[in-house]
Amino acid sequence: MAPSKAREPAMEDAELSSAESGPGSESETENEKNDEQPRATKRRRLSTSSDDSYVAPAPLPTLSRIKKKDTATADKAAEAEAPVSSRDALEIGLQTTTSSFESLEVAPWLVGALSAMAIKRPTAIQKACIPEILKGRDCIGGSRTGSGKTVAFAVPILQKWAQDPFGVFAVVLTPTRELALQIFEQFKAISAPQNLKPVLITGGTDMRPQAIALSQRPHVIIATPGRLADHINNSGQDTICGLNRVRMVVLDEADRLLASGPGSMLPDVETCLSALPPSSERQTLLFTATVTPEVRALKSMPRPANRPPIFMTEISTENQGSIPPTLKQTYLQVPMTHREAFLHVLLSTEGNASKPAIIFVNRTKTADLLERTLRRLGHRAASLHSLLPQSERTANLARFRAAAARLLVATDVASRGLDIPSVSLVINFDVPRNPDDYVHRVGRTARAGRHGEAVTLVGQRDVQLVLAIEQRVGRQMVEWEEEGVSIEGRVVRGGVLKEVGEAKREANGEIEEGRDVLGRKINKLKKAR
């Protein structure tokens, strides 16, 4: 199941840089306006104010723009508030079926370990994949976020490893460091009754301790492709020789790992696979929330004569427009110059003041500035993006998981796979440019059958992006509202603009001061040489 070679350079934790632009980005020109307005009633105009520092945005076309003749995306706004039907519950991927892990022939020690983690019955993806993986078949498993894909591959790997616990048994590749850490911790938790030796191999940390750990033949390697490829290329045969006996390999978030184009991880993935036994001598498992053409094409590839057919299942995958019925999708119209003020008031309302929330932005610079601004406004905020040192990324995520920080300001590095059960609110400070990114972002809440809300801040230039998102998910957003609350009124009349403006200036000053300090250190080092 090795993918074809790509020509693009690899880049771990690829994110949009400040130089990038696209539809709806901050670098758009005035010519990039919406020439084609859908035929619909105009949405309400925001109230005006005598405050010269505040300019209400021009009215946007209504966001119910999905045409009625398109029956595949008919109006489903009421569905966000409706009770979850029994059919919807089945599609969440967490249904309590009449089956059990015992009926899937999972070993008793694993059943006990899962029960201790409050995992009593298999989800749909687990029920479909675990028996086939235990039979030795290669597997492509597609299921929406929060449906239990990690357990679906971890359980059969651990069961097979326990039968022959020698050497490097499995390699799990995943696109981000945070997701790798989460999988590493889940393997440790599930394997608690046994003496499993897993190792985490990701970028941003010293390679030498990792090389030592690899040379000691861990049982399971959980890695980002870029860092494992670095070890394969640079750490010597004594370090990586254990890879040539690997029995099982997992590509988690396979759609991203196999994607081509700028920032592709595919060359690094191929380097990693080249160090493993050939596909005829190992079991290959691919899991994803979005079954892309690149992933689906693998099912039709020629098979080694000694290997059974690939097992493939798609259970309510996100390329099918699958948004959990327990997710309420809302939007809030904002003037782009005052987004921080609207966000500050939104986070401070009675309904949201105590909710743990992830706030997604499109750029690392935006994440840095917004996190600093929110902290100056009294919010307990942390940030997560690729420009942070790995130690800080890990610490910030740990603070958020432990509720020491209520808000996590993040780029799309946090949009995939992270499972933080306490998150009940996702805010798109920047509208994602790709509808698939929206699906992954909002998938951080309303997981495992829980309820959640996603609020998207929509500016004048974002309408077409929102239309594309609604088309993609097959459901319309409804306007955010809370009884007795006028976000705009509080922004305009409550002195919020001045408060937020000062906090933002202070945050910018802190960033500039940090750059000056860094520049002086660099110059001092240059002179010392």
- CA max distance for the chain: 77
* Helix (H) or strand (E) run with residue 90 in it: helix 86-91
* 88-320 and 323-513 agree in CATH topology: yes
Angle between helices 339-348 and 364-376 (to 10 degrees): 50
Dig out the tokens for 302 from the structure.
């020629």
Domain ranges of the chain: 88-320, 323-513
Predicted pLDDT of residue 310: 95
Report the pLDDT value the prediction gives residue 7, as an integer from 0 to 100. Answer: 37
Question: What is the predicted pLDDT for the residue at 8?
Answer: 37
Which are the contacts of 488, defined by CB distance < 8 A and separation ≥ 6?
46, 47, 56, 342
CATH number corresponding to 323-513: 3.40.50.300
CATH class assigned to 88-320: alpha beta
407 neighbors 380 (Cβ within 8 angstroms):
yes
Query: What is the reported pLDDT for 83?
Result: 38
What is the sign, positive or negative, of the torsion defined by CA atoms of 183, 188, 193, 197? positive
| Alpha carbon distances (Å) from 337 to 56, 61, 466, 509, 510 | 10, 20, 19, 19, 21
Nearest to 431 by CA among 407, 410, 453, 459: 459
Q: What is the pLDDT of residue 93?
A: 40
Q: Which residue has the tokens 């990690």?
A: 150
Measuring CA to CA, how many Å separate 225 from each of 72, 100, 168, 258, 364?
38, 34, 17, 11, 22
pLDDT for the residue numbered 92: 40
Which residue, 173, 372, 358, 190, is CA-closest to 273? 173
Quote the pLDDT of residue 48. 36
Mean pLDDT per block of 10 residues along the chain (529 residues) reads 42 41 38 37 37 59 42 35 37 52 97 95 96 97 89 98 94 97 97 96 95 97 98 95 96 94 94 96 94 88 87 74 84 95 97 97 97 98 95 95 97 90 96 93 88 96 95 93 90 91 96 73 61
